[in-house]
Amino acid sequence: MKKLQNKVALVTGSGRGIGRAIALKLANEGAKIVVNDLDKDVAAETVQTIKDTGSDAVACVGDVTVSDFGKQFINCAAENFGAVDIIVNNAGYPWDTVIQKMTDEQFQAMLDVHTVAPFRILRAAADFIRPAAKQEIEEGKENYRKVVNISSIAGLYGNAGQMGYAAGKSALVGMTRTLAKEWGRYNVNVNCVAFGYIKTRITEPLGEEKSVAQVGNRSINIGIPPEMIKGMNRMIPMGRGGTPEEAAGAVYLMCSPESNYISGQVLLAAGGLTM
């Protein structure tokens, strides 16, 4: 039997990139997946890919920053699969500039997607997890649930030009350690995975023309200058950026049964890079 057989995993921002790799990894280990993305076509494609592997999945299309999304997301899992076992708060994006140029809207947007959205999802999950866990404990059943919040090396050590992004990702660490203390009695392991340089469309080398990602009604410039990527590769002890699949492997570690006595921790997946 696969290690996540019959588990139900919810992964935000799982239509593309790291989130998609996480969803596929958990599905390959037997989990049923609730896929989330802003783009319904991208979400549908990920759902179909998961089904083609022999697991099951549904799409919950929507913006994680909308106030009632948390309840919608948890209800989607409960109504379709009858369980909430794993929550991966992955959705996010960088909207960068130096502090003197950063607007209130820009700073708040980073907090909304990286801090407020996970808070609302986990608050909504409490209504399902707490009574389910209490009943299991009363019946003598041992069932561990997992929360994995996705942070960044910028959230741990800061990064020039990423005041909002770093603040949002740093707050996730405090949330992780607090929830680990609140939910330990319910057999919920709450951990954080912080990524370094992972090669996705967000971090692809800039060409002559700017690359743009559409996030709702915002057009966000993405990509990294090639010379900066070379510099990062020189700083990383392993000499390269990670792949989405390698990033997903780090998340899986915190979702597996082997993490049943690990909680409130931050795992840095950065190829040996520390700041």
Query: Would you mind telling me the total number of residues written for the chain in this entry?
Result: 275
What pLDDT, on the 0 to 100 scale, is given for residue 85? 98
Euclidean distance between CA atoms 210 and 255, whole angstroms: 37
What pLDDT, on the 0 to 100 scale, is given for residue 217? 76
Does residue 129 form part of some domain? yes
Nearest by Cα to 10 from 106, 111, 120, 100: 120
Token pair 């992955």: residue? 90
Does residue 167 form part of some domain? yes
CB half-sphere exposure, 263, CA atoms < 13 A: 20
Does residue 76 form part of some domain? yes
Q: What is the CATH number of the domain that holds 245?
A: 3.40.50.720
Residue 242 tokens read as 């990670």
Nearest by Cα to 117 from 90, 144, 155: 90
Euclidean distance between CA atoms 119 and 99, whole angstroms: 25
Euclidean distance between CA atoms 165 and 212, whole angstroms: 18
Enumerate the active-site residues.
Answer: 165
DSSP 3-state of 210: coil
Ranges of the chain with pLDDT below 50 = none
What pLDDT, on the 0 to 100 scale, is given for residue 209? 62
Euclidean distance between CA atoms 122 and 183, whole angstroms: 11
256, 4 in Cβ contact below 8 A?
yes
Interval 74-103: pLDDT, tens? 999 999 999 999 999 999 999 989 999 999
What pLDDT, on the 0 to 100 scale, is given for residue 210? 64
Domain count, the chain: 1
Does residue 235 form part of some domain? no
Strand 86-89 versus strand 145-152 pairing type:
parallel
Does residue 274 form part of some domain? no
What pLDDT, on the 0 to 100 scale, is given for residue 208? 55
Residue 97 tokens read as 């500039």
Does residue 72 form part of some domain? yes
- Max intra-chain CA distance, the chain: 63
Backbone angles phi, psi at 219, to 5 degrees: -105, 115
Host domain of residue 127: 8-198+240-269
Q: What is the arrangement of strands in the sheet containing 145-152, beginning at the earlier edge strand? A: 57-59, 32-35, 8-11, 86-89, 145-152, 188-195, 266-269
List CB contacts of 261: < 8 A, sequence separation 6 or more: none
Does residue 75 form part of some domain? yes
Does residue 216 form part of some domain? no
Nearest by Cα to 125 from 149, 151, 155, 93: 149
7, 86 in Cβ contact below 8 A?
yes
